[in-house]
Structure 1
Amino acid sequence: MIGNKSVSRMLAAFGLAAFLGVAIYYSYWPDGEPRIAERPLVEVSVPPLAPIQKQGRTAFEENCAACHGENAAGRDGSGPPLIHRIYEPNHHGDQAFFLAAKNGVRQHHWRFGDMPPVDGIEDKEIEHIVAYVRRLQKANGIN
């Protein structure tokens, strides 16, 4: 007969093993590469940038990259890629970027949750960010 302490220990060991198994499973992509929050969701080719686009890149890195990833490629678990057909100019015009940065956005295309407003961002910075994102989009076939 197994005692209550033995059953409790067995259940605890089983629970720990199950937890570790799930953690290991979800820490790797299907291709066997480690799943890292920094991993981009799309591949982005970065073209030569004009001065305003370079300023936009700097502003993007300071205000947006934490969620939308380096070069707007998205971040697993954090935010969607902006280099995606959903954000093409005919669907999300430039004003949509201004509104999102200033007011935030309710979740609607992706399952990353609501986007909060970007604290302290200036219209000129958003203008530069939009120029940068649009350049990246065009270079990656999104017009």
Structure 2
Amino acid sequence: MNAKTVSIAVLGVAGLAVLGWFLAASDDGKTTPTGTRQVPEGAQLVQVQLPETLSEEARMGQRAFEAICAACHGDNAAGRNGMGPPLVHKIYEPGHHADASFQLAAQNGVRAHHWNFGNMPPVDGVTRADVAAITTYVRELQRANGIE
């Protein structure tokens, strides 16, 4: 082999090594070959800063949220990839989704319109008082995250 052939072979092997590393790195559940973040199914969608304290009603709402809502909307309303959107998000700020919208969503369900998670079904067995407490919890989480 001459020096030119060796150089081409080395570059080819190096190129394959880099490509292999790139493909392995893109298959780690974190990034894709285009560099976009890939979130595993069911993973939390946003980071939620918890408030230092919760009001008594928000603590009741937290317990109800964990029992009724967290399966889809995630712990601390951070959303779950492929399951339900984060409620600690500017889309759900009070000026866009008033407290009554939470009552209507629980009672009637919601046709998908902001996200691609599919329709939300009505929530059986939840009372208006449960939803009011859940809404208080979500609003206190939102405020702790700069969503007014």
- Which range, TM-score by smaller chain? 0.7 to 0.9
Q: CA deviation at 1:29?
A: 2.3
Shift of 1:34: 8.7
Q: How many Å separate the matches in 2 of 1:120 and 1:105? A: 17
Q: Distance between the aligned counterparts of 1:39 and 1:109, measured in 2?
A: 19
The answer to whether structure 1 residue 103 and structure 2 residue 108 are counterparts is yes
- Whole-Å Cα distance in 1 between the matches of residues 82 and 71 of structure 2? 11
Alignment partners' CA distance in 2, 1:92 and 1:43: 21
The residue number in structure 2 matching 1:4 is none
Q: 1:103-142 counterparts in 2 under 5 A?
A: 103-142=108-147
Aligned partner of 1:41 among 42, 45, 64: 45
Alpha-carbon distance in 2 for matches of 1:115, 1:132: 20
SS, match of residue 140 in structure 2? helix
Q: After superposition, give the CA deviation of every residue in 1:48-72 in whole Å (9 maximum; x if it has no partner).
A: 1111100000000111101000000
Q: For residues 51 and 37 of structure 1, what CA distance do their matches in structure 2 show?
A: 33
Secondary structure of the residue aligned to 1:86 is helix
- The normalised TM-score by structure 2 is 0.75
Instruction: Give the conservation status (yes or no) of the 8 Å contact 2:42–2:83.
Output: no
What 5-or-longer segments of structure 2 have no aligned partner?
A: 1-22
Change over 3 Å in CA distance of 1:85–1:35 after alignment to 2 = closer
The one-character-per-residue Cα deviations of 1:22-41 (angstroms, maximum 9, x if unpaired) are xx94x71218x995434210
Q: Percent identity?
A: 52
2:15 — aligned with what? none
